Structure 1
Amino acid sequence: MGRKDVFEHIIDGVSGIAPGDVSGKALVVGVCSKGEVGKTYYLGKRSDLAKLLGTGPLVDRLQDIFAAAGQDATVLAVPVAGNPSGTITQVKHIGTGVSASVSGIPAANADVVVEIVNGGALGTATAKISTDNGAIFSSASAVAANGQVTIGGSGTTLVFEGGDLVAGDTYTYTVRGAIGTVEQVGSGAKVTVEGTVVVGAQLVLQVVKSGGRNVGQYQLSVDGGDNFSGYRTIPVDGRIVAADTGVTIVCPSSGDEEFKAGTTYSCNLLAPVPTVPAVIAALKKPLEVVDPEFVYVVGGSDSVAWASLGALADDLWNKHRPTYFVCESRLPAAGEDLNDWVTALKEERATFAHRFVSVCCAYGEIADRTGQRKVRNAGGLLTGRILSIPVQRDIGRVRDQAITGITVPDEYTDSMQLVLEDAGYITLTRYAGLRGTYWGTARTMADTTSDYQRLEVIRTTFKAIRLMRLQALKALKDELGDPVQGADASGLAYLRSNLENALDTMVKAKPKELAGYAIEIPPGQDFVNNGVAVETKLIGIPIIDTINLYSSYIYAGSKFDPRLQG
């Protein structure tokens, strides 16, 4: 027999703790001017973003996140390399001839107009070309037999479909590089803009004192004229650094025409964007180390990118790490009105569906902590809202108040919002009687047959799955007990108890994250060969999407007066 004594033992796994919750943790990946690509930066409200990450779309969105995220949010940032941005609008055709499309890259700014001079078959018909919106046309020349018309310098090619071209038909589209065209209102010298854009901006240079270099004075805005710098003298070398945008405004030498007070120059700068392979490469190491609730990818993207990120979400799911992705749609391009933009987004969505991907198309002028108001996607504000609310809550709950610091375009209509929301995008909306702007329904890009078309459903389900998995692992390799006893067998009862403990944390949360649940271990299973199957029904909390108010008017004292009935 062993020695007689008192022996101590620790019984573990019975405290009721249910680990595994990662809600409220976001991994944000985007382009910035500083920071190490692929490195994880653990940030908080007091982090010096400019010192760590410089400027750029990632920094802009992080500022939006912290403005909307409340007091307790975990934000991890990952820099990624970016490419110069640019846009090419769809071709607008006026006439009765064949349609055309555009191919290429935005190598240089151009307002393309192609007019058919002599109609006929491809190879015979002639056309003239303008790259300045019809101010100057080239001489008419034959359209190639393959239907391709190269627009010199723009990096684009207009491609006609097969068929006859009709004289007088016009085909127009707009090409913009990272540095847009300089628009001048007023007389005087002309300026150019050069450099590499590191952050999007709407430059406005306003002359406040006439004169050339070292004499004339100006004020500069990077947010479309909402906020201006103080008055400054035009440098002697004529090079005006446009804040932290990465570009320089070049003024002509004093021997040329001087600047005139009151003249205004404006130019749009498009923020750099990452490629999908660059995003996935940058996320590889961070996703091996950290386990976020979701990943927010900064920068305009399309269905090709969404499909790649959906595949990454599937891979994480297969690794027992359910994670969803939040993406941004592109902004309207130069020369594209909101009607064309909405149609293009609807077409983009038509070829894609994935329940673990959400796309925010909401945008507007967003104010930051410095008072600047720049036009950008509202994905940062969306991420902040997600981080600030429990998993079962709709992002657009009116009781949580309007979105702070955003102004939507005046041309944005209720019909546009409804079409985009029906297509699966996360949108902004307004309500008659309220002054603010609110989030629409938190949609995912799930197909119409899916139960997971709403983000709060995904969030609630993912949290429950993560909690249940860790609790179920406690019972792995345990003795099952006597199968004749069914679900009351000791091992099965222990498994069930652990799962109930996990879901009880959500049912008993304040506010409730689940209305209830049902766990069943079906009888008659072949536990030896097939393992244990557990069926769990998560009973979610409905969202009030529509309220119908029915009112009637009744005269006092009439037989219909409810006070006199019964």
Structure 2
Amino acid sequence: MAQPKVDIQIQSGGLGRSTQVADGVAGLVVTGVAATGLALGVAKRLFSLADAEDVGIKSDVPNLLHAWTQINDFFAFAGDGAELWIILIANTTTLVSAVGNSADDSTPLEKLLVAAEGRVNVAGVSMGRAAGYTPSLNQGFDGNVQAAVGAAQMVAEKFYGRYSPVHIILDGSYMDPAGGYINWRQGGTANRVSCFVGTDVAGARVSCMGKLLGRLASIPVQRNIGRVKDGSFMADAYLTSGVSVRSLTLGALNAIHDAGYILPRIHQGIPGVFLSDDPSLVDNNDDFSSISRNRVIGKAVRLTYQTYVLELLDEVEVQANGRISPTKIGYLEGRIENAINQQMVVNGNCSSVDCTIDPRQNILSTDRLEIQLKLIPVGQLKEIVIKLGFTNPALAT
């Protein structure tokens, strides 16, 4: 038997601190060929451009130049140390195949999300093609974009069901405005999917997805990617139609924006190029009609799951009348309010949180507890109206 002693044990949990959630983890499905150290269809986590080059994704490998460029663009925005998951796919892969929904999580996008174990909260698809590629134009873009949007929405919903919310951004490659692109803002239903039609390279027919993901990884979840205070997005701007944004009329650009696509834009008198907005491919009246709103609710989903999974199968005290104990209700409400206040309200991700549990629930019969959790989001200044005119002080007196 050990000698008599005073045993002081440090306990954790008294401060009510919550598990941290990573906001800026991105995923990239990108076309190319197998690298020397990375096979096609295998997900890989990177923390720098050097990590990509270590597995053979280099700028001097012609069939990997596109993938290298997107990765380089990501880390140029997000910085070394940011977390990026990539998966290489053959440059003959269709957009629908890249983002397809399967029963066994076997499509490239699904493989990437599964390998990341729920860490990826925004994923982009970049469809670089081999020289001489002939696009199959349909509804204003290469490939069956409508089918790809539907498939990506199904994948996003599936991973939401696994408490791993993700917003998916598709490459609006080979844009052909004359082809009658879909107006997603009128009847669209893909509120967890967006489409990017901008590039910084003259004549390029695919979007600069790496830049967009890098911007998203470097800003808080509530922030719009087009926020002017964050600085310009790139030096010059083109659409994936191959046309310079500066050559198009304001009316033509507004039409693309109003249809729900993300595109570059110019602010008069401000150097550089910015992004128009952060729309989802959904009707305007949907609560999740923007990437930023999706990222906010996605963070809340992760926090809520991580908070309440610890309470699973725990005992719930009830009073003589069968109602849940007020002490238990206060504890459960306080757990999630504390977590969201610490990680979201304090950081400006949302304005406030309110958790309510009805004590009249018959938990003895159902073993089920319903919790109402409501966030008040932050607003965004999308239109500023200034009434400017002259005044005559003499008339006022």
Q: Bin the TM-score by the shorter chain.
A: 0.7 to 0.9
Q: Paired residues, what number?
A: 355
Looking at structure 2, the residues matched to 532 and 348 of structure 1 have their Cα atoms a distance apart, in angstroms, of 37
Deviates more, 1:460-469 or 1:51-60: 51-60
2:385 matches 1:548? yes
Q: CA deviation digits over 1:460-484, x for unaligned, max 9? A: 1110111111111222222222245
1:485–1:414: structure 2 CA closer, same or farther, 3 Å change rule?
farther
Looking at structure 2, the residues matched to 488 and 59 of structure 1 have their Cα atoms a distance apart, in angstroms, of 58
Identify the match of residue 502 of structure 1 among 339, 349, 370. Answer: 339
What is the identity, as a one-letter code, of the residue corresponding to 1:57?
H
- Asked if the contact 2:152/2:168 (under 8 Å) is kept, the reply is yes
2:113 matches 1:287? yes
Looking at structure 2, the residues matched to 359 and 315 of structure 1 have their Cα atoms a distance apart, in angstroms, of 20
Helix, strand or coil: the match of 2:28?
strand
Deviates more, 1:316-325 or 1:483-492: 483-492
Helix, strand or coil: the match of 2:355?
strand
Looking at structure 2, the residues matched to 346 and 39 of structure 1 have their Cα atoms a distance apart, in angstroms, of 33
What is the identity, as a one-letter code, of the residue corresponding to 2:341?
D
Identify the match of residue 236 of structure 2 among 392, 406, 419. Answer: 406
What is the identity, as a one-letter code, of the residue corresponding to 2:163?
H
1:469–1:50: structure 2 CA closer, same or farther, 3 Å change rule?
closer
- Asked if the contact 1:29/1:297 (under 8 Å) is kept, the reply is yes
Identify the match of residue 379 of structure 1 among 194, 209, 221. Answer: 209
Identify the match of residue 392 of structure 1 among 222, 243, 260. Answer: 222
Looking at structure 2, the residues matched to 475 and 77 of structure 1 have their Cα atoms a distance apart, in angstroms, of 34
How far off its partner does 1:319 sit?
1.6
Q: Which has the larger radius of gyration?
A: 1
Looking at structure 2, the residues matched to 349 and 447 of structure 1 have their Cα atoms a distance apart, in angstroms, of 4
Looking at structure 2, the residues matched to 427 and 551 of structure 1 have their Cα atoms a distance apart, in angstroms, of 30
Helix, strand or coil: the match of 1:493?
helix
What is the identity, as a one-letter code, of the residue corresponding to 2:25?
K
The residue number in structure 2 matching 1:536 is: 373
The residue number in structure 2 matching 1:322 is: 165
What is the identity, as a one-letter code, of the residue corresponding to 2:151?
S
What is the identity, as a one-letter code, of the residue corresponding to 2:121?
E
- Asked if the contact 2:257/2:263 (under 8 Å) is kept, the reply is yes
Structure 1 residue runs of 5 or longer lacking an equivalent are 84-272, 367-372
Looking at structure 1, the residues matched to 299 and 205 of structure 2 have their Cα atoms a distance apart, in angstroms, of 34
How far off its partner does 1:394 sit?
0.9
2:88 matches 1:79? yes
Identify the match of residue 305 of structure 1 among 123, 148, 154. Answer: 148
Looking at structure 1, the residues matched to 190 and 82 of structure 2 have their Cα atoms a distance apart, in angstroms, of 27
Helix, strand or coil: the match of 1:519?
strand
1:529–1:477: structure 2 CA closer, same or farther, 3 Å change rule?
same
How far off its partner does 1:500 sit?
1.3
How far off its partner does 1:454 sit?
1.1
1:404–1:364: structure 2 CA closer, same or farther, 3 Å change rule?
closer
What is the identity, as a one-letter code, of the residue corresponding to 2:96?
V
- Asked if the contact 1:396/1:438 (under 8 Å) is kept, the reply is yes
How far off its partner does 1:350 sit?
6.9
The residue number in structure 2 matching 1:200 is: none
1:430–1:485: structure 2 CA closer, same or farther, 3 Å change rule?
farther
Give the structure with the higher percent strand: 1
Q: CA deviation digits over 1:176-234, x for unaligned, max 9? A: xxxxxxxxxxxxxxxxxxxxxxxxxxxxxxxxxxxxxxxxxxxxxxxxxxxxxxxxxxx
What is the identity, as a one-letter code, of the residue corresponding to 1:276?
V
Looking at structure 2, the residues matched to 427 and 278 of structure 1 have their Cα atoms a distance apart, in angstroms, of 22
Looking at structure 2, the residues matched to 350 and 382 of structure 1 have their Cα atoms a distance apart, in angstroms, of 25
Helix, strand or coil: the match of 1:474?
helix
Identify the match of residue 178 of structure 2 among 327, 340, 352. Answer: 340
1:82–1:417: structure 2 CA closer, same or farther, 3 Å change rule?
same
Helix, strand or coil: the match of 1:381?
helix
How far off its partner does 1:329 sit?
0.9
- Asked if the contact 1:331/1:363 (under 8 Å) is kept, the reply is no
Looking at structure 2, the residues matched to 25 and 506 of structure 1 have their Cα atoms a distance apart, in angstroms, of 16
How far off its partner does 1:72 sit?
5.0
Q: CA RMSD in A?
A: 2.8
1:356–1:469: structure 2 CA closer, same or farther, 3 Å change rule?
same
Looking at structure 1, the residues matched to 184 and 310 of structure 2 have their Cα atoms a distance apart, in angstroms, of 45
Q: For residues 151-550 of structure 1, what are the structure 2 equivalents within 5 Å?
A: 273-280=93-100, 281-290=107-116, 291=118, 292-299=120-127, 302-332=145-175, 339-340=177-178, 344-346=180-182, 353-365=189-201, 376-408=206-238, 409=244, 410-483=246-319, 489-510=326-347, 512-530=348-366, 531-550=368-387
- Asked if the contact 1:303/1:351 (under 8 Å) is kept, the reply is no
Give the structure with the higher percent helix: 2
The residue number in structure 1 matching 2:57 is: 53
How far off its partner does 1:36 sit?
0.8
Q: CA deviation digits over 1:519-544, x for unaligned, max 9? A: 11123211223411111110111000
The residue number in structure 1 matching 2:24 is: 24
How far off its partner does 1:416 sit?
2.5
**Normalised by the size of structure 1, how large is the TM-score?**
0.57
- Asked if the contact 1:365/1:376 (under 8 Å) is kept, the reply is no
What is the identity, as a one-letter code, of the residue corresponding to 2:164?
R
- Asked if the contact 2:226/2:278 (under 8 Å) is kept, the reply is yes
What is the identity, as a one-letter code, of the residue corresponding to 1:81?
A
Identify the match of residue 42 of structure 1 among 33, 42, 45. Answer: 45
1:495–1:308: structure 2 CA closer, same or farther, 3 Å change rule?
same
What is the identity, as a one-letter code, of the residue corresponding to 1:18?
S
How far off its partner does 1:4 sit?
9.1
Looking at structure 2, the residues matched to 487 and 424 of structure 1 have their Cα atoms a distance apart, in angstroms, of 46
- Asked if the contact 1:31/1:57 (under 8 Å) is kept, the reply is yes
Structure 2 residue runs of 5 or longer lacking an equivalent are 59-63, 101-106, 128-141, 239-243
- Asked if the contact 2:123/2:169 (under 8 Å) is kept, the reply is yes
Q: For residues 143-154 of structure 1, what are the structure 2 equivalents within 5 Å?
A: none
- Asked if the contact 2:47/2:83 (under 8 Å) is kept, the reply is yes
Looking at structure 1, the residues matched to 265 and 237 of structure 2 have their Cα atoms a distance apart, in angstroms, of 11
1:536–1:440: structure 2 CA closer, same or farther, 3 Å change rule?
same
- Asked if the contact 2:191/2:281 (under 8 Å) is kept, the reply is yes
Looking at structure 1, the residues matched to 228 and 324 of structure 2 have their Cα atoms a distance apart, in angstroms, of 45
Helix, strand or coil: the match of 1:550?
coil
1:348–1:513: structure 2 CA closer, same or farther, 3 Å change rule?
closer
